[in-house]
Amino acid sequence: MSLPTAETLRDRARAALQAVGATVELGAPGESGLPASTPVTGDVLCTVPETTPDAADAAIAAAAGAFAQWRITPAPVRGALVARLGELLVEHQADLGTLVTIEAGKITSEARGEVQEMIDVCQFAVGLSRQLYGRTIASERPGHRLMETWHPLGAVGVITAFNFPVAVWAWNTAIALVCGDTVVWKPSELTPLTAIACQALIERAAADVGAPADVSRIILGNRDIGEQLVDDPRVALVSATGSVRMGREVGPRVAQRFGRSLLELGGNNAAIVAPSADLDLAVRGIVFSAAGTAGQRCTTLRRVIAHHSIVDTLVERITAAYRSLPIGDPAADGTLVGPLIHERSYRDMVGALEKARADGGEVVGGARRDLGEGSFYVEPAVVRMPAQTAVVHEETFAPILYVLTYDALDEAIALNNAVPQGLSSAIFTTDVREAETFMAADGSDCGIANVNIGTSGAEIGGAFGGEKQTGGGRESGSDAWKAYMRRATNTVNYSSKLPLAQGVHFG
């Protein structure tokens, strides 16, 4: 399979940016600015203006200033902004999907599916704008009423990773905006073009509905710009998606200034395959979860824990499926596995496979496909491991699937829970007792526990996030909106007396 030229990809990116109304000046490769590259070929396509520290300060100030007006705007009116953003996303789904494919290397269906997530969360948030409910609480004092009210929090800093360059921004932004917050977004330095396109759409939506122009701002740059956002006391909440290493730095720095943080970090996700499992279903779920996005999702399936009675058959079927996966240009029809994001990811994969072999692992696959010197396309790897060694406890952002065996379900659950991460998990079984045990309090310790479906592909209606080193944050659906608001407990005395709580008498 041949790859498109850098010139072709550059032209596609320019056309997509023009279609969404972005007016950014793109510099030639090598010019000053933040380089916009593509893993499809490994080339730098252009450069974009990098945000200076002074400009970042101004962006944060603008968002903090807009908050004063936005927080007193009625929530259903705030919802109109998100509704308009959703309409624009529907109109430009193909354009944004093109940019996601170019910058993140996702195949077309996954790229457009990521934009669909944006549309879905906008629809969810619009409904939420009329459902920011508090509660009424019975008071122990006669003639009194207790209630909880929820209020906007402030400016929200959003830091996103390359692998979901638009969806995670939308998860945070759609919810934050209807909650009355404003947003400052620091996207991955690897995906600036998709971020510029999203910013153009939110600016158009704000103008169309008459919302303050500064409800959502963007800052482009490397680590220093991200640190500026993390450390700024005007940023009430920092929602950061990335590695555990990044989270270890962000969390304490935000806490030091008594800000709030919402962390979505690493995953080392497992699927238990029981003797009763429908293997046709299990293989389909495993292959997509493990090889989709070239293994570069936080919810990627990295461990299969299979019962000893079916493990040989299961591995044979997975490896056969892997051999049939078309690998190459992510925009080409039929491609199912695109590139790794860069050379460092490939080196990490090679290093992990070497460690696995040293630990007695049997590796099938994992070779690099030579499609171009600057690009890194790999065959997904299946590794039979004699035990869950140190390398299996590490998250390698590449398509490596470790296979372990078990005899009893409690042993399998212990293996699932033995790693430091706690994002997603699954069990394939037709035994209702096994399914319920897996989801019980002494079952999977992850934020997501699925039955007869893989570990990836979460819907926006449920809260997304995980435990342990995954960070404990929750985004998107359910009551995740509460992270973006502050709660006040109100006591109303509608009597003419002033009794004190707990029977206290004073005077």
Catalytic positions, please?
264
Q: Cα 448 vs. chain centroid, distance in angstroms?
A: 13
Q: Which residue in 419, 421, 426 sits closest to 471, CA to CA?
A: 421
Q: Which two tokens stand for residue 283?
A: 């293989």
In whole angstroms, how far apart are CA 452 and each of 33, 102, 282, 413, 430? 47, 33, 7, 16, 8
| Contact criterion met (CB below 8 Å) for 329 and 4 | yes
Beta strands 301-307 and 400-406 are parallel
| Contact criterion met (CB below 8 Å) for 438 and 414 | no
Rounded-to-integer distance, Cα 450 and Cα 497, Å: 54
Rounded-to-integer distance, Cα 189 and Cα 266, Å: 19
Is residue 417 classed exposed, middle or buried when 0-12, 13-18 and 19+ CB atoms within 10 A define those classes? Answer: middle
Cβ neighbours, 10 Å, residue 497: 9
Number of H helices, E strands in the chain: 15, 23
Helical pair 93-104 and 6-20, crossing angle rounded to 10 deg: 140
| N-terminal to C-terminal alpha carbon distance within the chain | 87
Rounded-to-integer distance, Cα 138 and Cα 325, Å: 60
Beta strands 216-218 and 448-451 are unpaired
| Contact criterion met (CB below 8 Å) for 104 and 162 | yes
| Contact criterion met (CB below 8 Å) for 165 and 191 | yes
Rounded-to-integer distance, Cα 142 and Cα 138, Å: 10
Helix ranges, 21-156 (H): 53-70, 75-91, 93-104, 108-128
| Contact criterion met (CB below 8 Å) for 488 and 151 | yes
